[in-house]
Amino acid sequence: MYSSRISNIDQIIKLYSKQNPNKICLIYENIDLGYSEQLTYKEFDKYISKASNFLIAKKLKLKSKLMISLPNSLVHLIFLFACFRSGIIAVTVNPNLTDRELKYQFNKSKSDLIISIDDKSQITKNNILLNDISLNYLDDFLDRFDSTYPEIKLKGEDEASILFTSGTTNLPKGVISTQYSYLNKILNVTAHLKMNSEDRHYLTLPIFHTNGQYSLLAIMSVGGSALITSKFSTSNYFKLARKHKVTLSTLFASTIRMLLMYKKSKYDKEHNIRLIMYAQSVSQLELDEWNSKFNINIIQIYGMSETTGMISANPLTNNRNLSMGKVLPMYDYKILNNQRQLTKSYEIGELLIKGEKGISFMKGYIDDKASTNDVIINNYLHTGDMVYKDDDDYIYFVDRKNDVIKRSGENISTVEIENVLINCKHVKNVSVVGIPDKIMDYTIVAFIIPNDTNIDINDIKEFCRINLIPYKIPEKFLIVDSFPTTSVGKIQKYKLIEEYL
C-alpha cells in the first residue's frame, strides 16, 4: 500500500534533499511577531541531523519518547523529523495545556523528556527549555552538533508518534501511529488530492494535531512544499496565500465561517489556490455563499487520530459537501445499527472501518489494552460516529455516539470537564453539554449545583483557567437546583437543554 521507494518517513526528506536540494521545502510565517523563515530540502535535512545528534546527546535512543510541547514553527518540525530520523517516538502535545493536563499526558505516554518554550520542571526534571522558536536561536542552540547523522534502518511497524485525543472516557487517550500507518495514509491522500511537486500546501492547523501532520507529510512525499503559520488569521489568510503562491489549503468549518464573515478584500480572488479541504460540516447556505464570494473549490473530508488522519473525502469534482464524501479506497467499511445489523441507505448507524493495527490505522492506545480492544474488534475500528450513507455511498455525519463535543476541530470530552469542575470547592454537582454554534460548531455550557448560596461564578471561571486549556473552558455557567435523572440516576442532559436553553 505504501510507495516502494519510501519505506520510512525519514526517507522522504533524504530523497528530495538529494533530488532537489535547493527547492524551498518549508515556509513559516509568525503572524504574532511579524517575521518569515524558510528552508530548502537540503537545509531542512541538515537541521534534522543536528537535532538528532542533540537528542542522542541527551541520552535518548531508539524507541525513547520525546514530548514536543512547542507552538507551530520550523523548530517544532525540525525536532519532530529528528524523531522520525533517529527512531525516537514523538509525543506531540498542545503547548497550551495546563500543568495538570500536561503531567497526565507525560506520565501516560511514559515520555523520557519534554522540549518546550516554558519551564516544565514542575512536571519533570528532564525538560529542554528553548528561549525562542526562531531559526536564528536554533543555530546557536545546535551549533556544536554535526549536520550528518548515520542512517537507521527503521521498520514499517516501528512506532513513530503518540498523539492524544479526547475519546469516550473522562481522560484523553494516547494514539500510537507507526511508520506504516503514516505512509499508507499519505499515499492515499496524495492520490485522492492529485498532489504534485508544484503544489504548496497552506497549513494554519496545529502541527501537534493529526491533520496537520499527515497534510504536511503528504505534500512533502511528492516533493512539494508547505506554508505553516503560527496561527489562523482571517485578515492575513488570502494575503499570505497570494504572497507565497499556495495551491492547496486545509481548514476547519469554523475558519471557513470566519472567512465568510470577514469584509471583502482585493486578495480574495488574487491567488493560486486550486483546492481547500475542510473538516466538519457547513450548511448549504454557507457553501453557496462561499462559491459566490471566493469561487474556490472546497471539499469536505473526515478523519480521526485513530486512523492517522483522513478516512473519507469528497471527490474533486461533482462533490456533495453536505456529506463527508466517500471512504478512501484503502478501507473497507460498514455501518451497523443498534441491533448490530448492516444499515440500508439513509438508515443511521455507527461507522466501522476495516483495517489492520499499525498498518492502516493506529497500533492502539498506549497503556490501555482494554480501550484498544473495545475500539478495534475483528479488524474493525469502531469510530463512535453515527452516520448514514446515500444510494451512491456518500457518508453523512449525524452525531457522536458518546459525550464528545467536536469544537473548532478539537474533540472535547464533556466528562473530562465535569471531572475537573467537581473538584472545585464551590461545586456540588455538574453536568456539561455542547450547544450548536454558528462559528465554533459548539458552545460549551456547564450546569452547576452549587455548594453554597453565595457562589461567585468568577471563582469557578478562575478554577477552570488554572485546570483546563482555554478551548475546554465553558462559555456559560448556569446555576440550577437539581438535575433531571433516569431511574438509575443518570443525568438527562437533553432535558437540561430543553428547560434552560
Cβ contact 88:158 at 8 Å: no
* Within-domain flag for 227: yes
Is 122 a domain residue?
Answer: yes
Distance CA 327, CA 281 (A): 16
Cα-based torsion angle of the residue sequence 487, 489, 493, 496 in order, rounded to the nearest 10 degrees: 80
Same domain, 460 and 342: no
Decide which of 340, 356, 389 is a domain's last residue.
389
Residues (pLDDT < 50) of the chain are 1-2, 167-170, 487-488
Do 20 and 163 lie in one domain? The reply is: yes
User: Given this model, what pLDDT does residue 237 score?
Assistant: 95
Examine residue 434 and state whether it is found in any structural domain, yes or no: yes
Kindly state whether residues 263 and 317 are assigned to the same domain: yes
Residue 343 per-residue DSSP state: P
Domain count, the chain: 2
| Residue where the block lists cell 456529506 | 323
Q: What is the pLDDT of residues 161-193, one digit of tens each?
A: 999 985 433 478 999 999 999 999 999 999 999
What string of H, E and C letters represents the secondary structure of 64-99?
CEEEEECCCCHHHHHHHHHHHHHCCEEEECCCCCCH
pLDDT tens digits, one per residue of 97-151: 999 989 999 999 999 999 999 999 999 999 999 999 999 999 999 999 999 999 8
Q: Which residue has the cell 489492520?
A: 356
Residues 289 and 430 in one domain: no
Please name the residues in contact with 143: beta carbons below 8 A apart, sequence gap of 6 or more. none
Confirm whether 3 is domain-assigned: no
| Residues 40 and 152 placed together within one structural domain of the fold | yes
Which of 374, 389, 404 finishes a domain?
389
- Domain containing 478 equals 412-500
What is the spatial distance between Cα 81 and Cα 151, in angstroms, rounded to a whole number? 13
Q: Please indicate, yes or no, if residue 397 is contained in any of the structural domains.
A: no
Do the Cβ atoms of 230 and 205 come closer than 8 Å? no
The CATH number assigned to the domain holding 455 equals 3.30.300.30
How many CB atoms are located within 10 Å of the residue 260 CB? 17
- Is 2 among the domain residues? no
Same-domain check for residues 25 and 147: yes
CATH of the domain at 52: 3.40.50.12780
Examine residue 404 and state whether it is found in any structural domain, yes or no. no
In this structure, the answer to whether residues 57 and 190 fall within a common structural domain is yes
User: Would you call 467 helix, strand, or coil by DSSP?
Assistant: helix
Q: Are 289 and 170 part of one and the same domain? A: yes
Q: Are residues 121 and 64 in the same domain?
A: yes
Q: Give yes or no: residues 338 and 478 share one domain.
A: no
Closest CA to 381 of 191, 190, 213, 181: 181
Q: Is 157 helix (H, G, I), strand (E, B) or coil?
A: coil
Q: What are phi and psi of 102, to 5 degrees?
A: -65, -40
Q: Tens digits of per-residue pLDDT, 31-57?
A: 999 999 999 999 999 999 999 999 999
- Decide if 157 is inside a domain: yes
Q: Are residues 200 and 275 in the same domain?
A: yes
Residues 456 and 380 in one domain: no
pTM: 0.86
What pLDDT score was predicted for residue 427? Answer: 92
